[in-house]
């Protein structure tokens, strides 16, 4: 084939690495420009990457920049040919934006070393934290525009958003902790009805604290399903209260709910798990301190728990092992407060790649997500100072773990659905569809 002609592929062909639209045949396979450039840069610059998890992270259109190690591995697995790279071409150079970012990071690092040399208080020493920064254009744009962190008006906007979300979260927690409410039967009809979180009578009847001592007991698959249905009911009510919903069509609202359905119960479980030894978790150690073990158990308000142990592979308990290591411990090591958690949860909900979104809905969600990303980084910069970039990077990494865990739970419930077709919210939002 002449060098001046690019091999054409059928319209709509997807990249074999990340499933974005392919731009052509690059290095022997159909791939997008992003994966093509990533593969060439990694090999030409002889870069090596290390996965922070188990080496099988999800590599998709929306999370392809999260783990470079697994992305490069998938490039090879899908047949990208390193021999096809033309090494005699001009050396790959950083874009102006990335070059500017690297210079700024170097300057800040030198300042930190001068100020804190020898300090044992660095968050980078934590066992469960990955200090590498995701090489995504989104991250670069936010870092370049971090002047919002010092804009009083922008800070007031972020605080107002967080205050509203915390008030909403308080109602959700009250219902979840009492678990007296009846779960929703139909997701579609729920979206048509008024929000129960705004119903004073309903909230008064369903938020009484449970009396008596709660004895812990091991969670069964049936109990897990019961709690997932409860959390999905709360997700629907929570979602209806979000400002973005007023600007979306019903089908777009349902598309967002379905995309977020496998993740919402998981992140609620990980963040709101409270163990009796929680106060013993050591985040930053003094030189003479010995860390105490973090409880490897997730629990629900009724006392049911899932404990990490030597379970056989491909069991539903394995899902909770991923959740404990990749989310529960991570959030405690990063000292994530509820104010950060509610903003992060909003960010995860605004998924422009959700199946079924209209073109207008997709554009609306994309704009809103970028605003939320900026707000989250701005808030972290104000609250956590020089730790903000590390925390922000690890939160983005955690989204890949949640996606992987969500895929696992879908398989668990899919198998259960074969023998027990209940047509509950799990079937409607996770397995079969509406």
The pLDDT tens digits of the residues spanning 182-234 come to: 998 888 888 888 899 999 999 999 988 777 778 888 888 888 889 999 999 99
Q: What are phi and psi of 33, to 5 degrees?
A: -65, -35
Facing residues of 26 across strands? 29
* The pLDDT of residue 175: 94
* The pLDDT of residue 109: 53
* The pLDDT of residue 94: 46
Q: Do residues 130 and 397 make contact, with C-beta atoms less than 8 angstroms apart?
A: yes
95: its two tokens: 């874009």
- If we measure between CA atoms, which residue out of 376, 187, 178, 158 comes closest to residue 264? 187
98: its two tokens: 């990335």
* Residue in the block written with tokens 């039967």: 185
Task: In whole angstroms, give the CA distance from residue 85 to residue 415.
Answer: 44
Task: In whole angstroms, give the CA distance from residue 21 to residue 219.
Answer: 42
- If we measure between CA atoms, which residue out of 278, 282, 283 comes closest to residue 123? 283
Q: Do residues 300 and 307 make contact, with C-beta atoms less than 8 angstroms apart?
A: no
Facing residues of 272 across strands? none
Q: Which helix (H) or strand (E) holds 272?
A: helix 264-272
111: its two tokens: 């300042």
Facing residues of 30 across strands? 25
| pLDDT under 50: residue ranges of the chain | 1-5, 90-94, 112-140, 143-144, 147-150, 277-288, 292, 312-314, 418-419, 434
* The pLDDT of residue 11: 85
Structural domains of the chain, with CATH: 24-83 (3.30.50.10), 137-431 (1.10.565.10)
């Amino acid at each position: 084939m002449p060098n001046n002609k690019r091999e054409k592929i059928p319209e709509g062909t997807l990249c074999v690495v990340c499933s974005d639209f392919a731009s052509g045949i690059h290095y022997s396979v159909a791939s997008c420009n992003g994966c093509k450039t990533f593969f060439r840069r990694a090999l030409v610059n002889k870069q090596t990457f290390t996965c922070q998890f188990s080496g099988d992270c999800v590599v998709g259109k929306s999370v392809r920049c999260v783990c470079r190690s697994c992305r490069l591995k998938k490039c090879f697995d899908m047949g990208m040919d390193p021999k096809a790279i033309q090494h005699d071409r001009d050396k790959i150079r950083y874009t102006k934006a990335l070059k500017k970012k690297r210079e700024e990071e170097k300057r800040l690092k030198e300042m930190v070393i001068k100020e804190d040399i020898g300090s044992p208080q660095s968050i980078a020493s934590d066992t469960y934290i990955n200090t590498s920064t995701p090489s995504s254009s989104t991250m670069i744009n936010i870092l370049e525009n971090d002047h919002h962190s010092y804009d009083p008006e922008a800070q007031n906007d972020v605080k107002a958003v967080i205050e509203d979300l915390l008030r909403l979260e308080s109602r959700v927690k009250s219902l979840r902790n009492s678990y007296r409410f009846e779960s929703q039967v139909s997701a579609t009809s729920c979206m048509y009805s008024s929000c129960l979180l705004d119903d004073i009578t309903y909230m008064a009847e369903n938020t009484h604290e449970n009396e008596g001592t709660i004895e812990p007991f091991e969670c069964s698959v049936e109990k897990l399903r019961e709690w997932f249905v409860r959390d999905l009911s709360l997700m629907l009510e929570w979602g209806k209260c979000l400002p973005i919903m007023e600007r979306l069509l019903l089908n777009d609202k349902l598309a967002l709910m379905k995309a977020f359905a496998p993740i919402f119960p998981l992140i609620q479980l990980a963040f709101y798990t409270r163990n009796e030894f929680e106060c013993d978790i050591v985040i930053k150690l003094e030189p003479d301190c010995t860390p105490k073990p973090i409880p490897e158990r997730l629990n629900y308000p009724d006392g049911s728990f899932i404990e990490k142990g030597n379970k056989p592979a491909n069991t539903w308990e394995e899902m909770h092992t991923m959740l404990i290591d990749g989310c529960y411990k991570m959030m405690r090591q990063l000292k994530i407060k509820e104010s950060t958690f509610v903003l992060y949860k909003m960010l995860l909900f605004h998924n422009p790649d959700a199946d079924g979104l209209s073109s207008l809905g997709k554009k609306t969600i994309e704009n809103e997500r970028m605003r939320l990303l900026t707000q989250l980084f701005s808030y972290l910069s104000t609250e956590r100072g020089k730790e903000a970039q590390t925390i922000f990077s690890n939160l983005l990494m955690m989204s890949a773990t949640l996606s992987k865990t969500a895929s696992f739970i879908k398989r668990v419930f899919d198998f259960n659905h074969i023998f027990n077709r209940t047509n509950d919210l799990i079937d409607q939002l996770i397995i079969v569809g509406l």
